[in-house]
Structure 1
Amino acid sequence: MRNLTLLLLFVSFISCGQDKRPIQGETEFQREMNAQFKDATETPLTEKDRKHFTALEFFKFDSIYVVTASFKRTPNEKPFKMKTTTNRRPLYVKYGELSFTIKGKDLKLNIYQNQGLLEKEGYEDYLFLPFLDETNGEESYGGGRYIEARIPEGDTMVIDFNTAYNPYCAYNSKYSCPVVPRQNYLRVKIEAGVKAYKKK
C-alpha cells in the first residue's frame, strides 16, 4: 500500500512538472515575449488561442540585424493623427530620422513619439519605430512590425531588429493598432524578430 502511495505521489509530481514547462526562447527577448503570451493577465491572445499556445515563432537571432543608425532630430514637425486599424486616431509627431545600412543597402526610417504617452510615468523618453519590409505577408505579419526605443543621448541609435514584434492586431481583432506609415517601408528582407502568428 505504501509503495502504491509513493507511486501515485511520483506520478502526480511528474504531471505537475509537465504542466510547468520551461519558457521557450533562444534569447531573453524571446523568453519574455513567450512568458507574456502565456500569462492570462497580459496576453493579447483570445482565451481559446491561449489554451493551445506553446510559443511564438521567431527568426533565428542574427547580429546582421543589430545596426548602429545615424540619428537626425527633426524638431519642427507638426503633430498628426496616426491611422489605426479602427477609428481611433492617436496623436503622434515625427521625432527624427534614422539612417543605416543592411546587406549593403542604405536604408532610412522615421521614428515617432506618441504625444498621449508623454504624461505617463516611464514613457517620457519613449519612441515608436514601426516598419514594413519584404518579409511581410510571407514569413512575417502582413501589417508590419514595431520596435520599442528610447530617446538617444547622442546622434546615433542602436536598432535591434531581433526585437521586432507584431501589433496586437495580429493576434486579436479587438485591438486598435497604429498602421505603419508607407515612408517606413524597407526594400529588404528583415529576417529577424517575431514571425507571422499561425493559429493552431
Structure 2
Amino acid sequence: MKLVAKCLILFVFLSSCDDGKQPLKGDTQFQKGLNAVFKDASTSPLKEKDRKEFDALEFFKYDSAYVVEALFTRTEHEVPFKMKTSTDSLIEYIKYGELEFSLKNERFKLNAYQDENLTKEDGYGDYLFLPFSDETNGLESYGGGRYLDLKIPKSDTVVIDFNSAFNPYCAYNEKYSCPIVPRENYLKTRIEAGVKAFGKH
C-alpha cells in the first residue's frame, strides 16, 4: 500500500514531467505531468494493453471557479481508524483536520486524513489525503470518487484546487487497492474539474 500511495502522490509532484519523446498533451502543468506518469511504464497504473494505446487522459476544462480558499481547522484527539478500500484490505488513517469553503455560493466541508505510516518516511511528513465524491461520479467522472493531495498548511487557510483532482489507481486497474471515499466527504454538487472517468469519450 505504501507503493500505491507514493504513486498517487506522483500525480501532483511530477507536474513538470516530460517523457522526452513527444510533447505531452494537457492544458496545464498538472495535466501534462499526469499524462507523463501514465505514459511511463515504470509509473503507469494502466494495464499493458491500455498503456500501449494511451494518448492522454480526459479532463474537465480548467476552471478557476474550482480553486477555493478553505478555512483549515486542526482536529485534536482523533483516534486512528481503518479506512475501507476497493479490496478486502484496510488502511489505517487518522482524521487530521477539517476544510470549510464556499463554492458557487454554497458552503461545504471536507475532512483531510493522514496515513501515519506514510508520514514517517522522508518527504511525506506534511502530506494530507483529501478524498471526495460529488454528483459527477458515475457520469463524467469515476464512480468511486476522486482524490486530492495537500500539504499541511502553516496557517488557518489552504487553497484547494479541484482542477488537480485525480482518480484512484483502481479506476484503471483492478489489481490496486484504493481507499474508498468516506461518506462524510460527499459534496452535494457537481465538481466539473480535474480528471474525468477513464475510457469515456
CA distance in 2, matches of 1:20, 1:113: 37
Tell me the secondary structure at the aligned position of residue 76 of structure 1: coil
Letter in 2 for 1:114: D
CA distance in 2, matches of 1:34, 1:72: 33
- Residues 90, 116 of structure 1: 8 Å contact kept: no
- Aligned-residue offset at 1:20: 3.6
- Residues 113, 126 of structure 1: 8 Å contact kept: yes
Letter in 2 for 1:144: G
CA distance in 2, matches of 1:181, 1:68: 22
CA distance in 2, matches of 1:118, 1:21: 35
Name the counterpart of 1:124. Answer: 125
Structure 2's unaligned 5+ residue stretches are: 1-19
Tell me the secondary structure at the aligned position of residue 127 of structure 1: strand
Structure 1's unaligned 5+ residue stretches are: 1-18
What is the TM-score of this pair, normalised by structure 2?
Answer: 0.88
- Residues 59, 193 of structure 2: 8 Å contact kept: yes
Name the counterpart of 2:50. Answer: 49
CA distance in 2, matches of 1:108, 1:135: 18
1:25-44 correspondence runs (5 A): 25-44=26-45
RMSD across aligned C-alpha pairs, in angstroms?
A: 1.3
Runs of 4+ in 1 over 3 A off after TM superposition: none
Tell me the secondary structure at the aligned position of residue 79 of structure 2: coil
Tell me the secondary structure at the aligned position of residue 99 of structure 1: strand
- Residues 114, 128 of structure 2: 8 Å contact kept: yes
Name the counterpart of 1:13. Answer: none
What's the % identity of the aligned pairs? Answer: 63
Letter in 2 for 1:122: G
Q: What are the superposed Cα offsets for residues 115-134 of structure 1, whole Å, 9 maximum, x if unpaired?
A: 11121110011000000000
What is the TM-score of this pair, normalised by structure 1?
Answer: 0.89
Name the counterpart of 1:143. Answer: 144
Max radius of gyration: which structure? 1
Aligned length: 182
- Aligned-residue offset at 1:199: 7.1
1:33-182 correspondence runs (5 A): 33-182=34-183
- Aligned-residue offset at 1:75: 1.3
Name the counterpart of 1:192. Answer: 193
CA distance in 2, matches of 1:50, 1:26: 21
Tell me the secondary structure at the aligned position of residue 61 of structure 1: coil
Q: What are the superposed Cα offsets for residues 67-89 of structure 1, whole Å, 9 maximum, x if unpaired?
A: 00000110111000110011211
